């Protein structure tokens, strides 16, 4: 699953990871589906989400490797991860976040100027908060989490944290100790479960990230 608020850089991150050789299997992107539909924004979003839901359930039923892009602002996306786990899939999350929803608003506006799809300002703000508040729970569900910060256009997506879920315990496989943004501390690190230094290892993906 590639997740993050609207305008955080999910599609850019997906292409970057593909260029690094990561296999996404059947890739399901509601935004791509919506581009093929007609109607109002809300109608196209609902129809695209419905079709994406059908494709995901088909992949789970057929035990076909798949991935999907999502804002992750609705609990149903976490339920999909749970069903995939129950069906025997190994689940991974690539999450890309930003420091503030105003960053996302500006990026969506820039995307629209280049011919990309728009998202209403109020929806961007509302979804940013709901998405970030869902992050910890998603990390509890998946087998591994890769968390990227994309707050700065100068640096691009930076891997700041990779966690592996081992028997219900999170083991840090990579921590960018030189750069942990405030949003990561607030939304994805557990104060009651600090990362021990002896659990921190290097990670090949980290060296590939800018």
Q: What is the distance between the alpha carbons of residues 64 and 66, in angstroms, rounded to a whole number?
A: 6
Q: Provide the residue-wise pLDDT of the chain in tens; the chain has 210 residues.
A: 999 999 999 988 999 899 999 999 999 988 889 989 999 888 998 999 999 999 999 999 999 999 999 999 999 999 999 999 999 999 999 999 999 999 999 999 998 888 888 889 999 999 999 999 999 999 999 999 999 999 988 778 899 999 998 887 778 888 887 888 999 989 987 554 444 433 444 433 333 332
pLDDT value at residue 42 = 84
Q: What is the distance between the alpha carbons of residues 144 and 191, in angstroms, rounded to a whole number?
A: 19
pLDDT value at residue 210 = 29
pLDDT value at residue 171 = 80
Structure tokens at 26: 């059947």
pLDDT value at residue 104 = 95
pLDDT value at residue 204 = 34
What are the structural domain ranges in the chain?
A: 2-208
pLDDT value at residue 85 = 94
Q: Whose structure tokens read 């149903």?
A: 76
pLDDT value at residue 190 = 59
Q: What is the distance between the alpha carbons of residues 156 and 86, in angstroms, rounded to a whole number?
A: 35
Contact (Cβ atoms closer than 8 angstroms) between residue 72 and residue 4: yes
pLDDT value at residue 198 = 36
pLDDT value at residue 152 = 87
pLDDT value at residue 191 = 52
Q: What is the distance between the alpha carbons of residues 67 and 70, in angstroms, rounded to a whole number?
A: 10
Nearest to 156 by CA among 179, 136, 130: 179
CATH code, 2-208:
3.40.50.300
User: What are the residue ranges of helices labelled H in the chain?
Assistant: 10-19, 30-35, 41-62, 75-86, 101-113, 121-141, 182-187, 204-208
pLDDT value at residue 154 = 79
């Amino acid at each position: 699953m590639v997740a993050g608020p609207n305008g955080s850089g999910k599609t850019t991150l997906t292409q970057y990871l593909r260029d690094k050789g990561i296999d996404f299997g059947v890739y399901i992107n509601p935004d791509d589906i919506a581009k093929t539909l007609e109607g109002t924004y809300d109608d196209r979003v609902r129809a695209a989400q419905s079709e994406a839901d059908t494709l995901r359930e088909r992949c789970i039923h057929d035990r076909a490797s798949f991935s999907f892009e999502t804002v992750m602002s609705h609990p149903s996306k976490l339920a999909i991860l749970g069903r995939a786990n129950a069906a025997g899939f190994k689940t991974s999350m690539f999450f890309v976040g930003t420091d503030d929803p105003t960053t996302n608003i500006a990026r969506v506006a820039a995307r629209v100027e280049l011919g990309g799809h728009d998202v209403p300002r109020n929806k961007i703000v509302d979804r940013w908060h709901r998405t970030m508040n869902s992050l910890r729970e998603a990390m509890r569900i998946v087998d591994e989490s890769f968390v990227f910060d994309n707050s700065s256009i100068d640096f691009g997506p930076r891997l700041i944290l990779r966690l592996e879920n081992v028997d219900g315990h999170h083991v840090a496989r990579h921590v960018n100790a030189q750069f942990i943004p405030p949003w990561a501390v607030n939304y994805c690190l557990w104060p009651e479960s600090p990362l021990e230094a002896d659990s921190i290892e290097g990670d090949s993906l980290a060296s590939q990230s800018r």
